[in-house]
Structure 1
């Protein structure tokens, strides 16, 4: 089957009665494109920890059949978003266009980038901005220092929210009902001996973060990596992202994080908010 045939097959199946398992009398469900949603699920299984996957691995991760996954992957290959060596599939840089097109229209990143650059230079550490996405965080901006060792997080990196400071800051900004819903969906994967894997404990931590407006995570995603995050607020005071400073543990102590790094990060966050109000 050619890639063109794949596209035609998907279109026919999508328009066929009963293709989407949704009630016909619900207008919101009637507008829901099931094939698009499933295609996005295929894209999302590729992460920093699983950058290359076989067809069977993608099928297992998504819960779809191999035949369905094959059609989606071949379509993505044809469109230039995925490449394959015949056995493994991986995302191509073109996939970032999907996010950059949206981010480029948000003035907040134009405002935040120079402030993040100044923060990184002042602390001589890597700085990032992240947004929440269904139990994960996506890093959407970065600034690196002149240090030989910088944190290897790139724009577009997607990591579980439960074990990073950005995730805890962003989860703390959610209304209670939405927070409980997202926590129900999170798989509490244990990445290091320090990773919090109890949802009861995580809820307690998030409540503390809500009260203090900052979070420090010590080597829960990776051994040797400490991070601190504070909220980024828009001109109306709504939390729209998290500002993050990542530090190798051999370079920055927990006390340094709670004092010098926290003070500088809060000032940078406040500067972003003030600039958005002008």
Structure 2
């Protein structure tokens, strides 16, 4: 594991500037200086300077005392998608997998306690708005996320469960920590995870881990189906063999 850099080697201004960018999300797309200061812990004066700097650089827009992100911010995410090896290798395999089954497929990675989609193919099926590169959702209620949590060392998985505060996103979402721990353990034992409408009503997913040449789990790959078209049992029977086939192929390339 990489060592933490010494504090003297850190650029505090860059850290704070990124915190300002991360203060904006789907629920808070327009923020005032005071709101950014509150969300980042910066003083209002410091928040103002960072917001004005980002505006001058083209990453922010300022109107009626509120700031919003501009499309230029997408360059930061595109830099990862265009340069990282995993999305480039996974995308063509996902295309073949999705169209072989006629369902949506995606690959995701853990970022702290969230699942971030890095590659996806819909195969003509409009399943969910979360199945596209760059989307970020809670790991505990997604098949890819739960598979990745199951692939963590036991102590890391226990730490996640200790700090997790699951919310009832749908009526199916598992919010009890003990039961969530059982589901993570079940995914670890079976080698695949199934999530039934815990993130979105009507969305069922099944996922397997993706390993690199050293055998380390670096991502998870899933198939998503609409609940009205396929039961959980049918999804396991039909989708899991194909997932395993492409899992082996993707593992060999990493």
TM-score bin, normalised by smaller chain:
0.7 to 0.9
Deviation per CA, 1:105-154: give whole Å up to 9, x if none.
Answer: 3333332211100111012112111111111111111112123x342232
- Kindly state the Cα deviation for residue 27 of structure 1 after the two structures are TM-superposed: 7.1
Q: CA 1:219–1:234 in 2, change beyond 3 Å: closer, same or farther?
A: same
Q: Does 1:133 align with 2:133?
A: no
Between stretches 107-116 and 66-75, larger displacement belongs to 66-75
TM-score relative to the length of structure 2: 0.85
Q: Distance in 2 between matches of 1:221 and 1:151?
A: 10
Q: Distance in 2 between matches of 1:34 and 1:133?
A: 21
Match for 2:129 among 152, 173, 183? 152
| Structure 2: unaligned runs, 5 residues or longer | none
- Kindly state the Cα deviation for residue 241 of structure 1 after the two structures are TM-superposed: 0.8
Q: Does 1:225 align with 2:203?
A: yes
- Kindly state the Cα deviation for residue 177 of structure 1 after the two structures are TM-superposed: 3.2
1:240 aligned partner: 218
Q: Distance in 1 between matches of 2:142 and 2:5?
A: 38
Q: Distance in 2 between matches of 1:232 and 1:201?
A: 25
Q: Distance in 2 between matches of 1:139 and 1:170?
A: 13
Q: Distance in 1 between matches of 2:157 and 2:95?
A: 32
- Kindly state the Cα deviation for residue 84 of structure 1 after the two structures are TM-superposed: 4.1
Give matches, 1:261-276, under 5 Å. 261-276=239-254
Q: Is the 8 A contact 1:163 1:195 kept in 2?
A: yes
Deviation per CA, 1:21-63: give whole Å up to 9, x if none.
Answer: xxxxx97122233333333233334334444445454444444
Q: Is the 8 A contact 1:47 1:158 kept in 2?
A: no
Q: Is the 8 A contact 1:96 1:156 kept in 2?
A: no
Q: CA 1:186–1:35 in 2, change beyond 3 Å: closer, same or farther?
A: farther
Q: Does 1:35 align with 2:13?
A: yes
TM-score relative to the length of structure 1: 0.79
Q: Distance in 2 between matches of 1:96 and 1:63?
A: 25
Q: CA 1:137–1:271 in 2, change beyond 3 Å: closer, same or farther?
A: same
1:201 aligned partner: 179
Q: CA 1:274–1:90 in 2, change beyond 3 Å: closer, same or farther?
A: same
Q: Distance in 2 between matches of 1:27 and 1:266?
A: 39
* SS across alignment from 1:155: coil
| Structure 1: unaligned runs, 5 residues or longer | 1-25
Q: Distance in 2 between matches of 1:248 and 1:190?
A: 20
Between stretches 64-73 and 248-257, larger displacement belongs to 64-73
- Kindly state the Cα deviation for residue 207 of structure 1 after the two structures are TM-superposed: 1.7
1:117 aligned partner: 95
Between stretches 229-238 and 48-57, larger displacement belongs to 48-57
Q: Distance in 1 between matches of 2:158 and 2:151?
A: 12
Q: Is the 8 A contact 2:143 2:222 kept in 1?
A: yes
- Kindly state the Cα deviation for residue 220 of structure 1 after the two structures are TM-superposed: 1.2
Q: CA 1:62–1:187 in 2, change beyond 3 Å: closer, same or farther?
A: farther
